[in-house]
Chain A
Amino acid sequence: MPSAVEGAVDGPLGLLAELTYRCPLHCSYCSNPIDLAAHTDELTTAEWQRVLAEARELGVLQLHLSGGEPLLRRDLTEIVRTAGELGLYTNLITSALGLTPRRAEQLLAAGLDHVQISLQADEAALSDRLAGTPSFERKLAAARLVKELGWPLTLNVVLHRHNVDRLAAVLDLAEQLEADRIELAHTQYYGWALRNRDGLLPSRAQLERAQGVVRAAHERLQGRMQVIYVLPDYHSRYPKPCMGGWGRRQLTVVPDGDVLPCPTAHTLPLPRASVREHPLAWIWEQSPLFQRFRGTDWMPDPCRSCDRRELDFGGCRCQAFQLTGDAARTDPVCHLSPDHGLVAEAVAAADEGARPRDAVLTPRPHLAARRSR
């Protein structure tokens, strides 16, 4: 898309609404903040409705409802209805726990456009162990319900050392469930996942096998199920274009109303911006937080002079900060980064297989929430 007039900031296309950090699952690869308890003062229904109206006015077209588990918000149906009335495309990203027939029918009637259900594995024992709670059978029931109600079904699977070898069986399960799409995304190392990184990183041999499985699935399922495979950035030569560029296409609103260029940007030492204090348009267009890494002027070398600077935007600011302590450095995932050794070491350690396969993973805890409503 062509960029707008010089000086003007294009409006965002997508809003990720993290309605709550509460979640019935305890996945060790969760990218929610480590300090969950600091984010329990959730926005009210009316506050979310105002945020959605402001977002629509700013140009947002897609609303991703996530968390935590968005179904734990008792006002989810009201939020979906408001979004639909505003003309937003609504996408629910859920563990499916709590997606009862009654709840699903209410959401359908409220105009929910699309449902994405997370799967941890292809069978109950492993899935329930990874999720930290019995959930597999309920997920399957909910996936079938989604199809029965006529929604398209997307399955999301976060891949890591403990389930990547089950990929073929996961795809078989998706086929049985008649999923329309499946997103297979390797773990991104933020929040709890970063804490558990050494127990989650797959080996290169595992990745190569997985790629073979995905290639075969693309051919076999052509025209029936869309298979989206997101390569792990730790094993790539170049970094991911995080959020399509800082403050360029997407924004995230977290449970307590802080607005972020990406869901993990609260880890960065930058000034906060909250919908409780400022209009969304000011935050997007003018706040120091959104201006900080917008465009390419902030870039150091090697990004500054790199041909790919408008392709990957220097990679991920959070990853740069987490690994080097400086959010303005090139993402160490890039093989051109002077800090690339930090990533290469972790990847090499995963290849050695010196660690026991069942390294102890820290599950993310429950969150006892203080709700506003």
Chain B
Amino acid sequence: MRSTAPVPTASSADRPRLARHVRLRFDPARGRHVLLMPEAVTVLNGTGAAVLELCDGQRTVAGIVAELRGRYEHVDDDEVRRFVDRLAARRCLVLGDREAGRA
């Protein structure tokens, strides 16, 4: 049943933000950040949560990488983009530029 169409590929100029139905929250019961959607819960690791907290529709992917480099020693640009890609493919993130004008 899975589609074979290519997933969106995040460019450095994209401004990702959480999709409207998605919430990023800290879960004190588990001590982790979680991504909440109608039918799924994703428990995030620290880096994943750090990336998503910066996905505000204002910062570009390049900006997010730069910001992370100020906090962590090794930040791989491709790795961040792949993470953004994966979440965009799951419709958790929208790549801001492509959906400009939507609320």
Indicate if the CB atoms of A219 and B3 lie closer than 8 Å: yes
In whole angstroms, how far apart are the Cα atoms of A13 and B25 in the complex?
13
- Other than the given A89-B36, A222-B5, A226-B91, 9 more pairs (CB < 8 A) read A56-B29, A59-B29, A61-B34, A89-B25, A89-B38, A150-B103, A152-B38, A215-B1, A222-B3
In whole angstroms, how far apart are the Cα atoms of A229 and B1 in the complex?
9
Quick check: is B97 within 8 A (CB to CB) of the other chain? no
Q: In B18-49, which residues have CB < 8 Å from any A CB?
A: 19-21, 23, 25, 27, 29-30, 34, 36-39, 41, 43
Quick check: is A8 within 8 A (CB to CB) of the other chain? no
Indicate if the CB atoms of A152 and B21 lie closer than 8 Å: yes
Partner of A154, one of B8, B29, B38: B38
Shortest beta-carbon distance, B28 to chain A, in Å? Answer: 9
Shortest beta-carbon distance, A9 to chain B, in Å? Answer: 13
Residues from chain A with Cβ under 8 Å of B20 in the complex: 150-152
Shortest beta-carbon distance, A145 to chain B, in Å? Answer: 15
Number of A-B residue pairs with CB-CB distance less than 8 Å in the complex they form: 59
Q: List 18 A-B contacts (CB under 8 A).
A: A57-B29, A59-B30, A61-B25, A61-B27, A61-B41, A62-B41, A87-B27, A89-B37, A89-B38, A114-B38, A152-B19, A152-B20, A154-B38, A218-B1, A218-B3, A223-B8, A228-B39, A229-B1
In whole angstroms, how far apart are the Cα atoms of A226 and B21 in the complex?
13
Residues from chain A with Cβ under 8 Å of B19 in the complex: 152
In whole angstroms, how far apart are the Cα atoms of A181 and B38 in the complex?
10
Shortest beta-carbon distance, B63 to chain A, in Å? Answer: 25
Quick check: is A1 within 8 A (CB to CB) of the other chain? yes
Residues from chain B with Cβ under 8 Å of A180 in the complex: 21
Q: Which residue of B lies closest to A249 (CB)?
A: B41
Residues of chain A touching chain B, judged by Cβ–Cβ distance below 8 Å, are 1, 11, 13-14, 56-59, 61-62, 87, 89, 91, 113-114, 116, 150-152, 154, 180-181, 211, 214-215, 218-219, 222-223, 226, 228-229
Residues from chain A with Cβ under 8 Å of B3 in the complex: 218-219, 222
Indicate if the CB atoms of B29 and A11 lie closer than 8 Å: yes
In whole angstroms, how far apart are the Cα atoms of A218 and B5 in the complex?
10
Known: A61-B34, A218-B1, A219-B5. A87 touches B41 (CB 8 A): no
Please classify the interface of chain B as helix (H, G, I), strand (E, B), loop, or mixed, using the class held by over half of its residues: loop
Most buried by A among B30, B37, B39: B39
Indicate if the CB atoms of A87 and B25 lie closer than 8 Å: yes
Chain B residue total in the interface (Cβ 8 A): 22
Known: A222-B5, A226-B91. A59 touches B36 (CB 8 A): no
Shortest beta-carbon distance, A208 to chain B, in Å? Answer: 13
Q: Which residue of A lies closest to B29 (CB)?
A: A59
Residues from chain A with Cβ under 8 Å of B38 in the complex: 62, 89, 91, 113-114, 116, 152, 154, 181
Partner of B23, one of A11, A89, A151, A226: A89
Indicate if the CB atoms of A58 and B29 lie closer than 8 Å: yes
Residues from chain A with Cβ under 8 Å of B1 in the complex: 211, 214-215, 218, 229
Residues from chain A with Cβ under 8 Å of B37 in the complex: 89
Q: In B44-58, which residues have CB < 8 Å from any A CB?
A: none
Residues from chain A with Cβ under 8 Å of B21 in the complex: 113-114, 152, 180
Residues from chain B with Cβ under 8 Å of A91 in the complex: 38
Shortest beta-carbon distance, B18 to chain A, in Å? Answer: 12
Residues from chain A with Cβ under 8 Å of B34 in the complex: 61
Indicate if the CB atoms of A113 and B30 lie closer than 8 Å: no
Indicate if the CB atoms of A59 and B91 lie closer than 8 Å: no
Q: Which residue of A lies closest to B103 (CB)?
A: A150
Shortest beta-carbon distance, B38 to chain A, in Å? Answer: 5
Shortest beta-carbon distance, A287 to chain B, in Å? Answer: 19
Residues from chain A with Cβ under 8 Å of B43 in the complex: 1
In whole angstroms, how far apart are the Cα atoms of A223 and B90 in the complex?
10
Residues from chain B with Cβ under 8 Å of A151 in the complex: 20
Shortest beta-carbon distance, A90 to chain B, in Å? Answer: 10
In whole angstroms, how far apart are the Cα atoms of A154 and B43 in the complex?
23
Considering the complex of A and B, which 3 residue pairs feature the smallest CB-CB distances, nearest first? A152-B21, A89-B36, A59-B29
